[in-house]
Structure 1
């Protein structure tokens, strides 16, 4: 006795008329729904007639008309201003159309109140302008969906969600901003921000942290980049920092066998795009604290790409860590420099070849190195550069940096903190390109970032040494909107043992002998891995500190107080100093330590009045003593530690401390 089932075919036949009626009803309803938006402008225009008839009846008399005219004029002007202001985030054409409609409607209402809406030509003008505006709105609705429909259509897309999220949360933190030209990719969304009058890109950059917090986004998700063409329309980029939470294994060389002029693939941005850097024509500063992976990620990442390029010559200088950083890469390096004596020897030889390199390029009518010019591109990578800068002649190094850029080479110096105590400001100016890994604090970050990166919100102090390989970069090949976007350098393995093993195997597969250099470059690295190793070792045997003939252990000197600067004895800077026999300028003879220190003390006494000075103001001391800049720096550090000098690292200036109270 179950329910009787009707066969499917009979149901379709019996109910065919009902189905047809439902389809027809839906079609009619859909047509009406689509037509309704187009009737709104006409209905609104027609509604102006009874409204104007009412205002004419109320205020058309002689006594009320002056007041009504003034009131309606002011109301129309205010309504027009409001329309213009609230539509500032719409397309310029839409803004003009909505504001123009308000002007025409309020103006006609004023005229109809004075003359009557049926008076001629008030009625004719109303019909003409009203019909034109209504038709214009119809055209706009047909050709381009209005803002409401557009928002509905994109509400569930990445672009629509970003637009709503960004504008709403910006408003919560007190920033009025519009968004247009939203483009959603696989791992990022970019858009053009439209700032309100008086706001700047810097104001929006300062608010990004608050917007991220309000929206519940990870720190560093939003990057704001100024637009050079329009200061009021910066670019906003949203990406996911969590993409870089785990190490990313090295993909292998990007362009093996090609020129070093092609980009080097070294890292992955948090928006999923690869970081590709163009090294020729630029010097590079690499900075980061111990444990931030400047070497195993930064240096090895660059080296891993450079040794696969047929026209590159890679020379590494490291007098501090030695084989720990250089060892796995030795087969792929054209020259290794790991002692003080070898470093001085190398830089002297490099300087001697620069004129010949420049002449070679000039003979080919080239003002800079380019692929196929006949010269190998030199990359001189200086690890723990502060230790190198402490004993070489920095004036000569600065000149070398100026020339090498034009002669087909790049200098890369890597150090923990690039302040003026570690390297002269003029050398930093020769760099231009910056790569900053994790640092201890915001003050240290200042030395590793450009002003543009800081303004855009780059914060390497957030990583410290907890996320090795994370960095910010401002280098040729990196777009302006990414200079403050975190990237993670590709990792050679998941453990230190694996990193060394994999990097060593890669370097063995790409030996320097497979990349022969040109005859000029061969003068400083003729036989990779052989001749210059022996020569540098021979130089190391006889190595002495020629900046101080009586000191052979610099570390011991820092740890052992100088008896001449005994803190227990008050120092009177105004007391007369013993006469010191002057040495002939340019004689090349070096004074002993005691005599040289007396000359320096006499020079410092000239600043006992409290004036600031810099090491360059003591150049005459070097001429007199025959010693080098490294000796001056070391002696100034000793006096700072003893309390007789004050040092301002921001300006790299010194001041003799007043001891009159002592």
Structure 2
């Protein structure tokens, strides 16, 4: 197609003429130039005619002269040529492949031409090329052959290249290169933000799994990260799928923290936490989902879990009807110290953390009773109960699997959202039963691709959404559940970068909107909540963060006067001294003088055998009346409450039992009574948890 230069308004422009124009040269006749041009144009169209009317007769004459003398020779030669015709036709069909309509027609035309030529040659070998009807077939068939190829040349030259055809260009050419040539690739669409969507149609015998298995080759061929291409099948049509390819990373320079649109929203309002790779906001809404799905946050150190936690918790700290509890015994205040005033409960000591987790089943039961009275199957904002966010770092170090499983199964319907954050969710860190109840996920960078399978559904990792970049891309993750549409589970996103001073000011601004924990939950948690070391701010008490840390009351020693508040170093030194003294005292106690005696295996909780031969006589204390005996028991338990010792074994009450002149059977009966009345909790062998002091009435 020629281009002619024209001049318009003094400007030169090139115009496509649609035909090739040969410039006329000086010194040569015009007629001669036209004849030369026409001859040049005719040569490509003359080639099929020259070949059709010269090659067949020459080849037929040669084979007839070589093998046409006898019937035997002619028959054998014809058979060999027939086999050759089949082979050549098959080779032509295989090598002339293509997906667009022009190449499909070329395949049929080329194969038919080879088959017809070889068929004529086979017959001409035995019958001769110049006798009837062989010469007739040659003259007619050769003309049809040549004309068909001329028509193809004309159509090809006249074809408009702007017409949309199924040509193997762009992605289709790459698909063919990686072994997906049978894949029917439709028009790819870019969103202008670095993402390309490619609808594909699977060939017969292909599955989505076949395409997913080729994704590593595809990402390498397109020079994108391993997680930059994913494939999702159509749930309604197994023969259709969609590829998502990230050809540009718009998130590499970071994402700004997205603040709440206003203060005082409800827990079930949307929470923006970052951006997807295609530029859309990453939004979750756990309390508005049909089912409250507990969250598993996973990723190596430095992958961005803490940044994600700060952004998420800060949003909740600006809302009403929600209480946030955080357990972090590994980093303490390092991660959230600047926003801890928005936490209703903040625990950094393992003992306090274990006490809270042990008290949760009782709180879950109490909340369930209230929701039942309100006629609610699950928590809703209209309930008088607060929604509760319980974030636990490295939960496996603080509670056993059965305890976590019980909490995860029961907390969902009563509006307690459990979030467990850890580096690897292997079965040694969290049981499969617990993991099954953590139906939402936010998986940041992991070191091994196999680690992602511990925290993400198979259908997500199979699609290619595997964050196997370790800590190289902090903040990048895949997430699902929590109200996120399922078609976004395989889309990369990055959490917003937070500023410590800004978040602190934001949480402070949310103080007038934060509601205190509801009485039902607070009373059910009992002393674990009442004696908590950290007390955040809320609309009821907005000045508590300005006060110094609350010191636990200490007794006065007559010989030394009141004990002043100790520094951290002094407390650590005193703790070491107490442990040393304890070891020294215990070392002075002799061992069992009769380790093989029949009663050696008995504990303080066990009754003495009836046939035991006991020669020793104990001085029997005067038996106190029941009210006085119970008062002694209650005072001892209250003393433990004041010392924040909320767990004890029955053996520790032996001195009280002797002082009351009672037996161990009486003690066991009293402990059962206190459990029934709600002062104690007894959910494991050999230990009791103090819920409320027996000297105070149990809150309603």
Q: TM-score, normalised by structure 1?
A: 0.57
1:441-452 paired onto structure 2 within 5 Å: 447-452=454-459
1:373-522 paired onto structure 2 within 5 Å: 378-386=387-395, 390-391=398-399, 394-395=401-402, 397-439=404-446, 447-452=454-459, 454-455=461-462, 460=467, 462-464=469-471, 467-475=473-481, 483=489, 486-492=492-498, 499-511=499-511, 513=513
Deviations 1:136-175 (A, max 9, x none): 9779946984769885xxxxxxxx4x666x458x55xx88
Partner in structure 2 of residue 68 of structure 1: 81
Partner in structure 2 of residue 600 of structure 1: none
Structure 2 residue 325 is matched with structure 1 residue 316: yes
Give the CA deviation at 1:504: 1.6
For the residue of structure 1 that corresponds to 2:187, the secondary structure is strand
Could you tell me how far apart the structure 1 residues matched to 2:232 and 2:459 are? 9
Structure 2 residue 533 is matched with structure 1 residue 524: no
For the residue of structure 2 that corresponds to 1:181, the secondary structure is coil
Partner in structure 2 of residue 626 of structure 1: 686
1:4-43 paired onto structure 2 within 5 Å: 26=17, 28-29=19-20
Partner in structure 1 of residue 30 of structure 2: none
Deviations 1:582-627 (A, max 9, x none): 7679xx994769xxxxxxxxxxxxxxxxxxxxxxxxxxxx999424
Q: Residue 347 and residue 223 in structure 1: after superposition, are their counterparts in 2 closer, same or farther (change >3 A)?
A: same
Q: Could you tell me whether the CA contact under 8 Å between 1:108 and 1:126 is conserved in 2?
A: no
Query: Where in structure 1 are there 5+ consecutive unaligned residues?
Result: 1-10, 32-38, 152-159, 493-498, 543-551, 564-574, 594-621, 630-662
1:141-220 paired onto structure 2 within 5 Å: 141=159, 145=163, 151=169, 160=170, 166-167=174-175, 171=178, 180-185=186-191, 186-192=193-199, 217=223, 219-220=225-226
Partner in structure 1 of residue 359 of structure 2: 345
Q: Residue 278 and residue 79 in structure 1: after superposition, are their counterparts in 2 closer, same or farther (change >3 A)?
A: farther
For the residue of structure 2 that corresponds to 1:303, the secondary structure is helix
Give the CA deviation at 1:193: 6.5
Query: How many residues get paired?
Result: 510
Deviates more, 1:113-122 or 1:63-72: 113-122
Give the CA deviation at 1:414: 1.6
For the residue of structure 2 that corresponds to 1:352, the secondary structure is helix
Could you tell me how far apart the structure 1 residues matched to 2:514 and 2:337 are? 19
Q: Residue 308 and residue 513 in structure 1: after superposition, are their counterparts in 2 closer, same or farther (change >3 A)?
A: closer
Of the two, which has the highest radius of gyration? 2
Partner in structure 1 of residue 309 of structure 2: 299
Q: Could you tell me whether the CA contact under 8 Å between 2:314 and 2:507 is conserved in 1?
A: yes
Give the CA deviation at 1:257: 7.1
Partner in structure 2 of residue 285 of structure 1: 296
Could you tell me how far apart the structure 2 residues matched to 1:201 and 1:75 are? 35
Q: Residue 50 and residue 419 in structure 1: after superposition, are their counterparts in 2 closer, same or farther (change >3 A)?
A: same
Q: Could you tell me whether the CA contact under 8 Å between 2:346 and 2:534 is conserved in 1?
A: no
Could you tell me how far apart the structure 1 residues matched to 2:138 and 2:271 are? 77
Q: Could you tell me whether the CA contact under 8 Å between 2:92 and 2:107 is conserved in 1?
A: no
Q: Residue 72 and residue 331 in structure 1: after superposition, are their counterparts in 2 closer, same or farther (change >3 A)?
A: same
Could you tell me how far apart the structure 1 residues matched to 2:406 and 2:208 are? 38
Q: Residue 242 and residue 117 in structure 1: after superposition, are their counterparts in 2 closer, same or farther (change >3 A)?
A: farther
For the residue of structure 2 that corresponds to 1:72, the secondary structure is helix
For the residue of structure 2 that corresponds to 1:383, the secondary structure is strand
Query: Where in structure 2 are there 5+ consecutive unaligned residues?
Result: 1-5, 23-41, 124-132, 536-550, 554-571, 585-595, 608-646, 653-681, 690-700
Deviates more, 1:271-280 or 1:254-263: 254-263
Structure 2 residue 348 is matched with structure 1 residue 357: no
Give the CA deviation at 1:488: 2.4
Partner in structure 1 of residue 272 of structure 2: 265
Q: Residue 135 and residue 277 in structure 1: after superposition, are their counterparts in 2 closer, same or farther (change >3 A)?
A: farther
Could you tell me how far apart the structure 2 residues matched to 1:446 and 1:118 are? 72
Give the CA deviation at 1:299: 1.2
Q: Could you tell me whether the CA contact under 8 Å between 1:284 and 1:433 is conserved in 2?
A: yes
Give the CA deviation at 1:238: 3.4
For the residue of structure 1 that corresponds to 2:501, the secondary structure is helix
Could you tell me how far apart the structure 2 residues matched to 1:94 and 1:379 are? 65
Looking at secondary structure, tell me which structure has more helix per residue.
1
Q: Residue 538 and residue 270 in structure 1: after superposition, are their counterparts in 2 closer, same or farther (change >3 A)?
A: closer
Deviates more, 1:468-477 or 1:197-206: 197-206
Partner in structure 2 of residue 581 of structure 1: 602
Q: Could you tell me whether the CA contact under 8 Å between 2:522 and 2:530 is conserved in 1?
A: no
1:103-114 paired onto structure 2 within 5 Å: 104-106=112-114, 109=117
Partner in structure 1 of residue 283 of structure 2: 276
Could you tell me how far apart the structure 1 residues matched to 2:17 and 2:43 are? 22
Q: Could you tell me whether the CA contact under 8 Å between 1:240 and 1:270 is conserved in 2?
A: no
Q: Could you tell me whether the CA contact under 8 Å between 1:188 and 1:239 is conserved in 2?
A: yes
Give the CA deviation at 1:451: 4.2
Q: Which has the higher contact order (CA 8 A, sep 6+)?
A: 1
